[in-house]
A and B are shown apart, each in its own frame.
Chain A
Amino acid sequence: MFTALHFAIIMPFIAAILVPFLYKQFARIHTGWFVLIVPVLLFIYFIQYIPLTANGQTVTSVFNWVPSLNLNFIAYVDGLGLLFALLITGIGSLVVLYSIYYLSKEKEALNNFYVFLLMFMGAMLGVVLSDNLIVLYTFWEITSLSSFLLISYWYEREQSRYGALKSLLITVIGGFAMLVGFVLVYKMTGTFSIQEIVASAETITGHPLFLPAMLLILLGAFTKSAQFPFHIWLPDAMEAPTPVSAYLHSATMVKAGIYLVARLSPIFAVKGEWLWLVAGFGIVTLFWGSFTAVRQTDLKGILAYSTISQLGMILSMLGVGAAALHFDSIDNNLYIGATTAALFHLINHATFKGSLFMMVGIVDHETGTRDIRYLGGLMTIMPITFTVAVIGSFSMAGLPPFNGFLSKEMFFTSMVQITNLGMFNIETFGVLFPVIAWIASVFTFIYSMIIVFKTFAGNMHPGLVRANIHEAPLGMLISPIVLISLVVIFGFFPNILAHSIIEPAMASILPSLLGGNEQFYVNIRFWHGFSTELYMTIGVVVIGLLLFMSLRKWAGIYRLFPESLSFNRLYDQLLVTTENVSTILTSWYMKGSVRQYLMYIMVFFTLILTVVLFGKGAFTVNTTNLAPISIYEAVLAASLVIAALLTMFASTRLKAVIGLGATGYIVSLFFVIFRAPDLALTQLTIETVSVALFLLCFYHLPEITKGAKKVRFQPGNFIISLAVGVTITLIAISASSSKLFDSISSFFSEASHDLAGGDNMVNVILVDFRGFDTLFEILVLGIAAMGIYTMIRLRITGRNRP
């Protein structure tokens, strides 16, 4: 059944088809206004599902796509899917609204932009609402493709094309690995439906394919979510228009990997490897992203690395949340909190990072630069933008009273608690988790402060900024203001999310913990006493402030990491090396010489044939059926050998042609003594004609090669030709020695007169019993004749007429 839910997922694609018509037809109105309707409607539609999922219910509707292959478009709405669907449509609406004011109607190709954006939105909805793994993969690849198109939106710029190619290469490699992982999962469980796989998750944990499948799927998730060391595409994707960066590269697409990890947690999370990989990569990414963000000078660069780092943080919390599965109930289960924190921070990050990107877009739009070295003193000129930046950055840094504070506290809690887990060797290295998390938070604090103070505080940079800078138009400000109000609202009233969104989403991630009619109970509190987490936050603020003040003094440590050791350089080198190596490899064996290729063909041909012949024990010699050799045959065979040798050792071409003609005539004599008159007739005529043609060719050879020498002796060629001859002889001998059944020729000799009314058996076979072959041989001759005629007459580049 194709339901309204399916239609909702497909709707952006349908709208994308209509966009170019609307763009052409209503050139006066900004196309974005039409597009805006789609995400708004979808958002309203998806909000209606909240009461359902909040009560623990799910919605499944199946549309048969390729039922014979188990590929069905199963739309499945549960807490997790709905959370993402609301993010996609909600932030999608705001981004479209923002883009209406950001992109100029006159200068930009809006039809392209909105087609790509809608494509992306539909694909993303498909990813989060599909229950079938292959359908999920299909939508996943469409997100990669549309992201590629959006990054290269200004395709006339070199950097845009570079970034687009890089992101496509990395995400598609991951996507392909993921597909292989999905296929392995299918191999283990026999179904593509995620819900059915989850139901049978316990049966596959010991399967030998379990670990490979997990690694491959995680590779897909990590590349998409820009985890270390696959994070390098995200900063280069910042060449995209700012609405795209805000939407794809902070709020939605980069979270597809996180969605996948969360969605497949019920299947894989029982294993310790999952916890270590997800949490480990997450925490490394968190640190590396925040550490690198500080050295950036481009605002979007800072935000890109900050996105990387925050994604790592969410992922590490999801990994730690997997520890909850090792305790049976939800009472006193400390590690559930990590999953709560991951989901909460996922929402928070989408709100504040979206608004920060839009803020940067406004600054860029109004001043013409995004470089913090040229910015400053915008506080009084752009008060609203400044407010957005302050709230967004402070929330990102984890300061009260914004929502980032809450999620950071919960993050610290989960990182501290993981050290007490007492399994999977966590006691040995587990202490690293809170330490790295804390250091990374210090760096997060520093770059958040850089965003605010380097852009808005201080003095205006004279001369480098435009003359009449002013506050952005209201339309551009609406979306960041909405997002920033959400930051504040979620900060003060976090529990409005708890029951409606987070609890059902947790039920999707940790389904095995819920018995009967239980539900998760989430209560996010501001104040939880003087705990370790609070001291950690205070430490972050104090150390962070000190470091931010003294930024100039210690920024030199970034010079200790030379550019040549970066992952970007590695990627570039890898591409260049791959191209070089393959070029060298190809030019090594593709020499362009037919002689060389013939050598390959012959060598492989003889090798394979002899290996098979002797490997299978097929070589036999059987002399029982052989006829006696007559004197004529012996004489003819001897002359054939002589003629062939004459051809080989001929000193001039003419002699070779004569030798070739002689072999042909001797073969026709063979036909005579083996009683094949028709063959002899044909062979004689054809041989005459072809010798004449050879002579014609050689007569017209150019002067330079006329003084042709004898064929040079090359040992390699000699060995190969000898091997070919010996191989064929051996095969012929063993083929005639091992006759498995009688020939069918007795039928023809009996039936040619009675059935076909002819006494010439050969001709009856040619035109009656097997007339089809003759028909197509006639066709071959016709084609050859026409080809020769065409080659002679058709001279496009040479003279006009022969």
Chain B
Amino acid sequence: MLYILYSVAALFITLSIILSLYRIAKGPSMPDRVVALDLVGINLISLIAIVSLLLNTTAFVEVILLLAILSFLGTVAFSKFIEKGVVIERNRD
């Protein structure tokens, strides 16, 4: 029973990923794409969580954490890039 539940959840998350991928490919402006990418990252986190429930293991908890960090970092970097044109600024001194 629980297995079917997990599978359905995974299916929906996958659907959500596909929809946001469409936004990434199509998105008229850059911020659209970045936000969609962030959404894909979050969805991936949930997908991995569900997959580790399906596989009945705790080994992928680190993957979830890492993906959260990467997703955050990536979004911040892109935002900065869009805003300022560079990701890492030079020292001013």
Contacts and interface: CB of A to CB of B under 8 A. Distances in A.
B74 A675 contact: no
Q: In the complex, which of the residues B51, B52, B63 has the most CB atoms of chain A within 10 Å of its own CB atom?
A: B63
A680 B63 contact: yes
A665 B70 contact: no
B93 interface: no
Contacts of A684: 63, 66-67, 70
Interface in A624-648: 632, 635
A677 B63 contact: yes
A665 B44 contact: yes
Contacts of A632: 10, 51
A688 B74 contact: yes
A491 B59 CA distance: 107
Interface string A672-698: 110101001100110010001000000
Nearest to A682: B66
B45 to A, nearest CB: 11
A199 B75 CA distance: 91
B14 interface: yes
A672 B66 contact: no
A658 interface: yes
A206 B89 CA distance: 87
B51 A672 contact: yes
A684 B59 CA distance: 15
30 contacts: A632-B10, A635-B14, A658-B24, A665-B44, A668-B63, A669-B44, A669-B47, A669-B48, A672-B48, A672-B51, A672-B52, A672-B63, A673-B51, A673-B55, A675-B57, A675-B59, A677-B59, A677-B60, A677-B62, A680-B60, A681-B62, A681-B63, A684-B63, A684-B66, A684-B70, A685-B70, A688-B70, A688-B73, A688-B74, A692-B77
Contact of B55 (A669, A675, A681, A685): A675
B85 to A, nearest CB: 10
A681 B48 CA distance: 12
A692 B24 CA distance: 17
Contacts of A685: 66, 70
A672 B57 CA distance: 11
Contacts of A635: 14
Interface in B30-75: 44, 47-48, 51-52, 55, 57, 59-60, 62-63, 66-67, 70, 73-74
Contacts of B52: 672
B8 to A, nearest CB: 12
Contacts of A658: 24
A685 B14 CA distance: 22
Nearest to A662: B21
A680 B62 CA distance: 10
A237 B65 CA distance: 83
Interface of A: 632, 635, 655, 658, 665, 668-669, 672-673, 675, 677, 680-681, 684-685, 688, 692
Contacts of B55: 673, 675
Nearest to B70: A688
Contacts of B24: 658
Contacts of A665: 44
Given A635-B14, A684-B70, A692-B77, 4 more contacts: A655-B25, A672-B60, A673-B51, A675-B59
B86 to A, nearest CB: 10
B55 to A, nearest CB: 6
Contacts of B10: 632
Nearest to B47: A669
Nearest to A696: B87
A672 B48 CA distance: 8
Q: In the complex, which of the residues B59, B73, B74, B77 has the most CB atoms of chain A within 10 Å of its own CB atom?
A: B59
Q: In the complex, which of the residues B44, B47, B60 has the most CB atoms of chain A within 10 Å of its own CB atom?
A: B60
A680 B61 CA distance: 11
A680 B45 CA distance: 13
A258 B14 CA distance: 90
B92 to A, nearest CB: 17
Nearest to A677: B59
A675 B54 CA distance: 11
A52 B88 CA distance: 94
B66 A681 contact: yes
Contacts of B25: 655
Contacts of B73: 688
A681 B14 CA distance: 20
The 9 tightest CB contacts between A and B, nearest first, are A677-B59, A680-B63, A688-B70, A677-B60, A681-B63, A681-B66, A681-B62, A672-B51, A672-B48
B36 to A, nearest CB: 11
A406 to B, nearest CB: 98
Nearest to A687: B70
Contacts of A680: 60, 63
A692 B88 CA distance: 13
A672 B52 CA distance: 8
Contacts of A681: 62-63, 66
Contacts of A669: 44, 47-48
Nearest to B18: A639
Q: In the complex, which of the residues A632, A665, A668 has the most CB atoms of chain B within 10 Å of its own CB atom?
A: A632
B75 to A, nearest CB: 12
B10 to A, nearest CB: 8
Nearest to B7: A631
A672 B49 CA distance: 10
Contacts of A673: 51, 55
A665 B47 CA distance: 13
A654 to B, nearest CB: 10
A685 B69 CA distance: 10
Contacts of A668: 63
A681 to B, nearest CB: 6
A675 B48 CA distance: 11
A509 B14 CA distance: 96
Contacts of B48: 669, 672
Nearest to A688: B70
Nearest to A683: B63
Nearest to A631: B7
A665 B45 CA distance: 12
A668 B47 CA distance: 13
B69 to A, nearest CB: 9
Nearest to B57: A675
A644 to B, nearest CB: 15
A665 B17 CA distance: 13
A665 B40 CA distance: 11
B74 to A, nearest CB: 7
